Amino acid sequence: MKLKEYLKELIRDFLIIFAIVVIFITVLRQIFSPNEHFELTDIFIYMICALAGDLPSLIFYSSKEISEKEMRLRIIIHFVVLEVVILTLANVMAWISGPLDTLLLAIQIAVIYVLVRFLTWRDDRKSAHRINEKLKAMKEESMHVSE
């Protein structure tokens, strides 16, 4: 994949992450703190969080085809970098304090990461199945034409 295309995907992912964060926080505030309002600084904080969550994805960029083993290694590196970046940001911004808060956030990040990886894997598996079915149909069709 070309770098330009990859950067477009990163920007799209950033916007999706940002939108999801804003939507969830809006809904949660309406449920738990209906009198609280968004400040402009809140929006910038959500942007920083979305960027911090998206930038480590640069680890997956490669201009050449990578092996399954290399991809697994990148997934592990990505997970570790993502954990460090988000935990560092949360501690620096004083959103969490102390080892227990840090551990709980680390566990939440890990659970979300595993869930996203699982959903991605499931979607990729469905796509591969559809492609294989189409290839099978094309092969059968070409066999009938050649007869």
SS3 content of the chain, % helix, strand, coil (to 5): 85, 0, 15
CA–CA separation, 87 vs 49, rounded Å?
Answer: 11
Over 80: is that where the pLDDT of 26 sits? yes
**3-state secondary structure (DSSP) of residue 96:** coil
Positive or negative, the CA dihedral 124, 81, 19, 21 is positive
pLDDT of residue 25: 87
Q: Read off the amino acid at residue 78.
A: H
The whole-number pLDDT of residue 69 equals 95
pLDDT tier, 147 (very low <50, low <70, confident <90, very high otherwise)? low
Residue with tokens 């680390």: 106
Q: What is the tens place of the pLDDT at every residue in 34-54?
A: 898 888 998 998 899 899 989
Asked if residues 3 and 50 have their Cβ atoms less than 8 Å apart, the reply is no
**pLDDT tens by residue, 54-82:** 999 999 999 899 999 999 999 999 999 99
Q: Give the model's confidence band at 2: pLDDT under 50 very low, under 70 low, under 90 confident, else very high.
A: confident
Burial class (CB in 10 A: 0-12, 13-18, 19+), 4: exposed
84, 110 in Cβ contact below 8 A? no
Percentage of the residues of the chain whose pLDDT score is greater than 90: 55
pLDDT at 1 over 80: no
* Amino acid at site 104: L
Query: 87 near 65, Cβ under 8 Å?
Result: no
